[in-house]
Structure 1
Amino acid sequence: KMAPPVDYLRLVFLPWLARMGVRVGIESVRHGYYPRGGGEVVLKVMPCAQLAPLVAESPGALRAIRGVAHVARLPMHIPERMVGAASACLDGFGPIEIETRVLADEEGSGTGGAMVLVAETEHSLLGSAAVAERGVRAEQLGEDAGHALRAELDAGAALDIHAADQLLIYAAQAQGASRFTVREVSLHARTVMWLIEQFLPVRFSVEGRGRLQLIEVLRG
């Protein structure tokens, strides 16, 4: 349940990779849900001669908040309650458009649900996600996703904490110096940075910038 749902990859992670020159098409054949899994996706990755550096220090003005909440083998009021709770957490940020869906039986493996939220800004994409689990109310799931996205927006970071640790390996292989801001450097990110330094001729610098952390990828 700690891994990002496929909609986070589609709406946040892959658009960031596209900015670095990697073109990836993604198609969800079947959604899988925690804890059973069973999801299936098809990826089409275009060849990329070299990666452009990732430079994202300021998100710029907020343009839109959108997202998706879906369930399989559960009633429509579940994703609707997710949306209501998430929207309340994000009150004051302007219009919010979140698609709600009940998947057809062939679209989902087992019973479950998930929500992914995306804040589109002038220079950035910030995301959050929450996955349904037994005993957790739909409102709690929506609040978790909403509060997580609000934390990113309030901090003023260019990348959310999950995109940051996922993009480190690509930034380390880019032609040129990458640098980006996050509200927090996760333990996962610190582990990934250490591991990359053991194999590639790069080093990482982390510097406090007020409420933010600036991560730089330095070659040599």
Structure 2
Amino acid sequence: MKLIQLDGTTGGGQMLRTALSLAMITGQPFRMTNIRGKRPKPGLMCQHLTCVKAACEISDGTADGAEIGSTELVFRAGRIRGGEHRFAIGTAGSTNLLYQTLLPALLYAEAPATLRLEGGTHNPMAPPFEFIDQVFLPTLWRMGAEASVTLLESGFAPVGGGVIECAVTPCNGLRPLVLEVRGELTSLSLRVPTRNLPIHIAGRMLDAALAELPCDDATVEIREPGPGRGVCCLYQANFTNAVEMTSAFGETNVTAERVGRRAGKLLSDFIGAEVPVGRHLTDQLLLPMALAGGGSFLTMAPDDHVPTNISVIEKFLPLQIKVEEAGRGKWRIGTA
């Protein structure tokens, strides 16, 4: 079978993850060159290599160029296998992004699958575990997916050491979802998970987020004992027809107040945008929507991940995804 040719110069790890998912589902092999070409450290890093190796295992596939630093990869998938699998990233690389690489394929497996994934669960370069559990998966359930995730151990960057377990039941195909009305705001909740740091840091972060966007359900969560240390601010909004979570992570030389204000402002901006889908979920819904063969949603102005992700999807599937302004700062994304 002829190789699909992909140029990763302008994209990041998401291009590779989407290509791996689609190659497993469609059986079409691909060659990607210039992987993460414009990143400070181009080529495959530990988290990307783990995605490649995991895709090989669950699909009896092969990968040429699967090594750290490689800027070219040829991947060929076989038959998708369910069963029990364990994958360890070895760094604080995101277990949540690894899960999102494997989940679409396992929905098309011949048997249910259980995954144990080890690495980072709270990483500033990826959605936190709670986003997957509270925002991403509930949206997929509405499309007919049967999947769940459980947090066994939090893993903060840069140490990692987190563990999640995932269960996936194959389905008969995803259903199209139209998500253009979010309904009324029903609740707000604020969580500040922390480990091995003075408690006043998390408290200041929480207070700053509340000053930006008040809510009655706010608490600090101690995630000890465990490896490493870290803190993040997770702010969630539930609507009658949608849910969104924003996050901000503690980092060296950045005050707790600044982190808390950022999480609060991000959610406040989303609420003001009057759309049902946030920027992170936008990128993550493109592939399920395409696999369902239809659907649409309203979101905020999309970031650069969206066109690069769409370009990969359209190489594998016989459809087009349109991105168009819908007025008043809203954007509609849907299949053509």
Output the TM-score relative to the length of structure 1.
0.91
- Answering whether residue 224 of structure 2 is matched by residue 104 of structure 1, we say yes
Query: Where in structure 1 do 4 or more consecutive aligned residues deviate above 6 Å?
Result: none
Match of 1:89 in 2: 212
Partner Cα separation in structure 2 for residue 90 and residue 208 of structure 1: 28
Match of 2:240 in 1: 122
Q: Is the 8 A contact 1:51 1:170 kept in 2?
A: yes
The structure showing larger relative contact order (alpha-carbon pairs under 8 Å, at least 6 residues apart) is 1
Give 3-state SS (helix, strand or coil) of 1:88's partner. helix
Match of 2:161 in 1: 38
Partner Cα separation in structure 1 for residue 238 and residue 220 of structure 2: 19
- Answering whether residue 22 of structure 2 is matched by residue 22 of structure 1, we say no
Give 3-state SS (helix, strand or coil) of 1:179's partner. strand
* Pair member with larger Rg: 2
What is the Cα deviation at residue 71 of structure 1? Answer: 0.6
Q: Is the 8 A contact 1:85 1:139 kept in 2?
A: yes
Output the TM-score relative to the length of structure 2.
0.61
Give 3-state SS (helix, strand or coil) of 1:105's partner. coil
Identity between Structure 1 and Structure 2 (%):
33
What is the Cα deviation at residue 96 of structure 1? Answer: 3.7
Q: Is the 8 A contact 1:34 1:132 kept in 2?
A: no
What is the Cα deviation at residue 76 of structure 1? Answer: 2.5
Match of 1:132 in 2: 250
Partner Cα separation in structure 2 for residue 21 and residue 67 of structure 1: 29
What is the Cα deviation at residue 7 of structure 1? Answer: 1.2
Partner Cα separation in structure 1 for residue 289 and residue 216 of structure 2: 31
| Count of residues in Structure 1 that have an aligned counterpart in Structure 2 | 212
- Answering whether residue 282 of structure 2 is matched by residue 164 of structure 1, we say yes
Partner Cα separation in structure 2 for residue 15 and residue 99 of structure 1: 23
In structure 1, list runs of 5 or more residues that go unmatched: none
Match of 1:76 in 2: 199
Match of 2:114 in 1: none
- Answering whether residue 307 of structure 2 is matched by residue 184 of structure 1, we say no
Q: Is the 8 A contact 1:113 1:132 kept in 2?
A: yes
Match of 2:319 in 1: 202
Give 3-state SS (helix, strand or coil) of 1:48's partner. coil
Partner Cα separation in structure 2 for residue 193 and residue 172 of structure 1: 9
What is the Cα deviation at residue 78 of structure 1? Answer: 2.2
Letter in 1 for 2:333: I
In structure 2, list runs of 5 or more residues that go unmatched: 1-123
Structure-2 change in CA distance of 1:25 and 1:99 (3 Å): farther
RMSD: 1.4
Partner Cα separation in structure 1 for residue 177 and residue 304 of structure 2: 21
